[in-house]
Amino acid sequence: MTTSPTIRVPGGVRRGGRVLSIVLPAVMLLSAVAPPVAPPAGPAARVDAAAAGRRPLEVIRAPAGTAIPNRYIVRLRPGGLTADVVIPLDVRPDFVYQQVISGFTANMSPEQIGEVLSHPEVAAVEEDGVVRAFGPGPAPVAGRGAPDLTTSWGLDRIDQRSLPLNGRYDVTHTGAGVTAYIVDSGIDPANKDFTGRLVPGFSAVTDQRGTGDCLGHGTSVAGIVGGTSWGVARKVKLAPVRVLGCDGSGAYSGVIAGLDWIAKNAARPAVVNVSLGGPKSPSVNEAANGLAREGIFVAAAAGNAFSNACDVSPASAPGILTVGASTRVDGQAIFSNTGPCVDVFAPGLAVTTSKAGGGSRVGNGTSFAAPYATGVAALYKQARGDAQSAVLENWLVREATSDELKGIPENTSNKLLYTGGL
């Protein structure tokens, strides 16, 4: 497992009942991005921008209370070089992005930001913001989706079209030969559900803990993707991409760094799960879309605020699969985000999975719905080859069971994940 240094270079219809028409090459605080506000910039900076033949840029602000002070994500224009921007200003970037976006993240003063905004190679500047693991929803009521550590109703549900459950999980494939990248809090190698299948990953967190999991969230997500006890794809390789600390929080910049590292280092065929989020971020969405354009499938949790998933990143990115949570009785989980950015639903209330330290636990949340889709994507790639992201997403949406779920809003696709004979 690898630990990052302080400065590092990480290596149909899209929404609402849709089949993707994009063709290749094409957490918990939820609110829309506030209108951009320009920071102080001197007259010289504005003159330089005017000389470059374009309007001065403005900083894209994170919603109140979610911005990381004095820390900015800078996206460059095609052909732009990070060195051209940072060296003259004596800026030391924490991350340099080369694949999913071109740019960097750094702490900068108002004076430095004024210069960056006027630089002809800069396309956008955004405040870095906080992301969080999508925490658990309310506990299930006894007799209505109550915890069961002996079976997995989630696995049982996704391999059949309708209720009642038959007590089996029937698939032909196992995800062998595919690598699943878990963008989360790490994976605990102590759980025997992953023995022999963990591969080296990446950490954007500078706490010297590497890619281990001191939170437990990523371990449980990985257990649904590919654990031997409760996983969808039980022979998939699992790579931890740690972007959340022990308190469950991280940063936009770290998520982008993780996605950029995957784009540079992924063992193909590959799938990616992102069960975290924050307020809508153009930079995070562009990074998620950039990874999808690389041909790497991405599934993201819709969020647990019973709100609009289109206000969340990366859930609102149009090039990825966004997953809401369903219940054992084919209802929408009360906490699940909805809206036109949700592609499919998957089990997410009282689902059984692996836990840090070993053994099993029951989890609630869209965090645990998304990995069911990621697991099915791994089955698909084993069965049918390394399909491009748009092709695979189209297949998942098309194969999903239609109109089985109760209580789904009119602006939300009524689709339940299905293994489709894989």
Question: CATH topology for 43-129?
Answer: Alpha-Beta Plaits (3.30.70)
pLDDT score of 61 more than 60: yes
Q: Which residues pair with 203 in a beta bridge?
A: 242
Please provide the average confidence, as pLDDT, over all residues in the chain: 88
At 7 the pLDDT is: 37
Q: What is the pLDDT of residues 196-239, one digit of tens each?
A: 999 999 999 999 999 999 999 999 999 999 999 999 999 999 99
Give the start-to-end residue ranges of the domains of the chain: 43-129, 133-416
Q: What is the pLDDT of residues 304-342, one digit of tens each?
A: 999 999 999 999 999 999 999 999 999 999 999 999 999
At 143 the pLDDT is: 42
Q: What is the pLDDT of residues 62-106, one digit of tens each?
A: 999 999 999 999 999 999 999 999 999 999 999 999 999 999 999
Using CA atoms of 144, 149, 151, 153 in order, give the dihedral in degrees to the nearest 10: 40
Can the peptide bond before residue 136 be classed as cis, meaning omega within 30 degrees of 0?
Answer: no
Q: Are 373 and 347 in contact (CB under 8 A)?
A: no
Amino acid at 273: N
For the chain, counts of helices (H) and of strands (E): 9, 19
Report the catalytic residues.
184, 217, 367
Question: Are the folds of 43-129 and 133-416 the same?
Answer: no
Confidence tier at 30 by pLDDT (50, 70, 90): very low
Question: CATH topology for 133-416?
Answer: Rossmann fold (3.40.50)
pLDDT score of 348 more than 80: yes
pLDDT score of 48 more than 70: no
Cα 366 to Cα 370: distance, rounded to the nearest angstrom = 6
pLDDT score of 1 more than 60: no
Q: Which residues pair with 127 in a beta bridge?
A: 72
Q: What is the pLDDT of residues 253-292, one digit of tens each?
A: 999 999 999 999 999 999 999 999 999 999 999 999 999 9
pTM: 0.87
3-class secondary structure, 199: coil
Percent of the chain clearing pLDDT 90 (strictly above): 82
Q: What's CA 36's distance to the chain center, in Å?
A: 24
